[in-house]
Structure 1
Amino acid sequence: MPQPQPTPAPDDANALLGRKPFKRSKSHFADRITADGRYGWPVESGRYRLVVSRACPWASRAVVSRRLLGLEDALSLAIADPIQDHRSWRFTLDPGGRDPVLGIRYLSEAYNAREKDYPGGVSVPAVVDVASGQLVTNDYQQITLDLATEWTALHRPGAPDLYPEPLRAEIDEVMAGVYRDVNNGVYRAGFAAGQDEYDAACRDVFRRLDLLSERLADRRYLVGDSITEADIRLFTTLVRFDAVYHGHFKCNRNKLAEAPVLWSYARDLYQTPGFGDTVDFQHIKQHYYRVHSGINPTGIVPLGPDLGGWLTPHHREQLGGRPFGDGTPPDRVPPGEEVPASGRPGPWAGE
């Protein structure tokens, strides 16, 4: 018997999606965790907990970076339920519905511990100070840059340089275009409140994807000859493209699988340790289709697309390049952080 979908609470912002122009909020808590502690938060092994959702592309950046850099022992990981209620991200995947380290049911509790009666949105990724239970930062743009540059004393031996200083200006330029037109562009299209707004956003998405296809036609990675922060940021959108952005967000000029260069590039990264082994397609589809009630009021989650192609040969190694530069691949996924079989590529997503 079909289960009725829950009625959104009156203050559930997800029910209002598609009713007004979309604008991404800036991160309200932008403290940084640095080697010298100049913001009051020094890098320290075991002190902080990274809270993510495997459904969220912004949070997935931090999951990939943490794994590539080998920070699993230094920075613990909390994984929120992909299905939110009106209080946002919750820890119902854990026994008793509480995060086992922070002891909280909702991420909002860490926000309120930092700022009493915090009125804003609750977002991931978020880094929480374990001892105080306070949110330190939800600055998704800066968190991964700091993991790459400020946490170096705790990186694993052989960790790659994801933000090499000689290439930073070029990386920043590439990331700015990717953020505006692709990472954020798919949301501008998906949450558009009118035809003109949607048309402009969708055209921006595919104009940038075409430019990226040209850039990647004769080079394996976006900047330099190894993986950088720029590749991580593009990957987390590409890996969601056919599963949710093509249909749910109406970015349907073509599928990723119909764009030869980008499809090969995305598969190359997916099959690289640290990328595909952090992706949970089940979480992704459940979150987008069931939570965004303003644009999918039925909450129906489609069976497709076929995700088996993610594991097919990509042949990008013929372009040369060294995935980890002078470093080495990360070790296997730590126990307890594996993606369940239901979230991995198969003939049908979610099976």
Structure 2
Amino acid sequence: MTKSVSETASYVESGEFKRDTNYITTRITADGRDGYPVEADRYRLIAARACPWANRTLIVRRLLGLEDAISLGLCGPTHDRLSWTFDLDPGGVDPVLGIPRLRDAYLARIPDYPRGITVPAMVEVATGQVVTNDYPQITLDFATEWTEFHRPGAPQLYPAELRAEIDEVNLAVFHDVNNGVYRCGFAGTQEAYETAYDRLFARLDWLSERLTTQRYLVGDTITEADVRLFTSLVRFDPVYHGHFKTNRSKLTEMPVLWAYARDLYQTPGFGDTVDFEQIKVHYYVVHTDINPTRIVPKGPELTDWLTPHGREALGGRPFGDGTPPPPPPLAERVAALREPA
């Protein structure tokens, strides 16, 4: 089974999908201990709105107000076997890095780079080299290392007193949900698929129970845990339910999670980073082993994301002692959904 450059994987004899989690782990830190100090305008975040792992960085960058410190380059929703490409930009070239393919930035750092060319990636503008593609650490470092450049009123997404619980929830969500949907979609045997399917829905049921009495996953404010779950939930009905065969229930048929997801979607910094059309085009066009016709479904109906969710009744303060982010920069705005009739 051929994998796209963004979903590098291997398979065990049982047919189970195994994600390659060996990333470039160099960190950008306040003290520059890895050789890359936090510095405004030094780095460019390369992301794709289609990708759930990259979507996390778009949300956290927005919530913390890092737009002026970290520029953004966006790849298109599709790619070929070699690399994500900048086909959304004039001439198909990133206007800051001057490259047509994200692969060029990887090879500038590691000429014989042997792994998948993944988003998100932090690229040093002056050298054109990828610094890191370690997506779980990138958002944690945005929250903890880039504080000098946080906007006034930025929320605490990874507060010290909640980190152990956030990490525990994140680990469970990664294995069973974030990566669990891929373990369903790319399973190589019926048994591997059913095992992943059962784990996915057991975890979604666990999350529903947890969120029945509390508005957010950890504490009474939005944290990194909510960001990581949201990017999977927002793709569930448009892609995972059909494309990855995660079809016990649609998100819209899981009342607690559906309300929770709408609550976050309607929170500034979340829904305004989501492009449903790019999401659908990516999965249905790139994954030709699953969808060889490359036909992209017209549905589902999306305006329901704007309907009342009622989660305010559970209390909680989305931004804690902080404030919502302002609207995104004009160049980074996505087409808004229409209000339901």
Same fold (TM over 0.5): yes
Cα distance in structure 1, aligned partners of 2:89 and 2:226: 31
Aligned residue in 2 for 1:284: 279
SS of the residue aligned with 1:23? strand
Q: 1:22-74 CA distances to partner (integer Å, 9 max, x unpaired)?
A: 21111331100000000101000000000001000000000000000000000
1:80 lines up with 2:53 in the alignment: no
SS of the residue aligned with 1:309? helix
Aligned residue in 1 for 2:26: 31
Aligned residue in 2 for 1:189: 184
Q: 1:217-245 CA distances to partner (integer Å, 9 max, x unpaired)?
A: 01000000000000000000000000000
* Aligned pairs for 1:174-185 within 5 A: 174-185=169-180
Corresponding residue to 2:297 among 302, 324, 328: 302
TM-fit CA distance, 1:88:
2.0
Relative distance call for 1:169 and 1:276 in structure 2 (3 A) is: same
TM-fit CA distance, 1:340:
2.8
Aligned residue in 1 for 2:264: 269
Identity of aligned residues (%): 65
Corresponding residue to 1:322 among 311, 317, 324: 317
Cα distance in structure 2, aligned partners of 1:56 and 1:150: 24
Relative distance call for 1:12 and 1:126 in structure 2 (3 A) is: closer
* Aligned pairs for 1:226-265 within 5 A: 226-265=221-260
Relative distance call for 1:15 and 1:28 in structure 2 (3 A) is: closer
Q: 1:258-294 CA distances to partner (integer Å, 9 max, x unpaired)?
A: 0000000000000000000000000000000000011
Aligned residue in 2 for 1:171: 166
SS of the residue aligned with 2:243? coil
Contact 2:241–2:247 (CA under 8 A) maintained in structure 1:
yes
TM-fit CA distance, 1:14:
8.5
TM-fit CA distance, 1:118:
1.5
Relative distance call for 1:287 and 1:68 in structure 2 (3 A) is: same
Corresponding residue to 2:37 among 35, 42, 47: 42
Cα distance in structure 1, aligned partners of 2:23 and 2:297: 34
RMSD: 2.0
Relative distance call for 1:15 and 1:324 in structure 2 (3 A) is: closer
Contact 1:17–1:295 (CA under 8 A) maintained in structure 2:
no
Aligned residue in 2 for 1:22: 17
Contact 1:14–1:291 (CA under 8 A) maintained in structure 2:
no
* Aligned pairs for 1:43-62 within 5 A: 43-62=38-57
* Unaligned runs of at least 5 residues, structure 2: none
* Unaligned runs of at least 5 residues, structure 1: 1-9
Aligned residue in 1 for 2:106: 111
